């Protein structure tokens, strides 16, 4: 019996498992780099981006959102002295390939999608 087709199928199954596992298990959300209010702001940004940026097909393609930056935008805001934060996220798909970025500041969400790598910097 020829084992070559079985090996090919096994390799394809392992590649498919890796495609889904890499972004979720190995890359993660990036929240472990932050503490306190910055971590809460990053977690809020992930939830807001999932609901505000992902359309029906995107929910299957974007496997993970990684927080890349959380920074305060103002020392004190008008809502009881709480600091406002701006969070930046990267949307990741199969094998951890970036497919877009998201910027969340307060109630404002800006989504930028790209397909073949990050966009070239503007001059």
For 8-50, what is each residue's pLDDT tens digit? Answer: 999 999 998 888 888 778 888 999 999 999 999 999 999 998 8
Return the closest-CA partner of residue 84 out of 49, 47, 40, 51.
Answer: 40
- Enumerate residues 6+ apart whose C-beta is below 8 A from 21: none
What is the pTM for the complete model shown? Answer: 0.75
Return the closest-CA partner of residue 61 out of 95, 109, 11, 87.
Answer: 95
d(CA 30, CA 85): 16
């Amino acid at each position: 019996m020829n084992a070559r087709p079985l090996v090919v199928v096994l390799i394809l199954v392992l590649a498919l498992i890796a495609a889904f596992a890499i972004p979720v298990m190995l890359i993660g959300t990036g929240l472990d780099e932050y503490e306190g209010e910055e971590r809460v702001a990053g977690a809020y940004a992930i939830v807001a981006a999932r609901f505000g940026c992902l359309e029906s097909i995107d929910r299957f393609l974007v496997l993970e959102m990684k927080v890349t930056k959380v920074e305060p935008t103002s020392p004190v805001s008008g809502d009881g002295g709480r600091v406002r934060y701006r969070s930046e996220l990267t949307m990741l798909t199969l094998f951890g390939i970036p497919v877009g970025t998201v910027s969340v500041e307060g109630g404002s969400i800006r989504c930028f999608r790209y397909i073949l790598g990050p966009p070239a910097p503007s001059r």
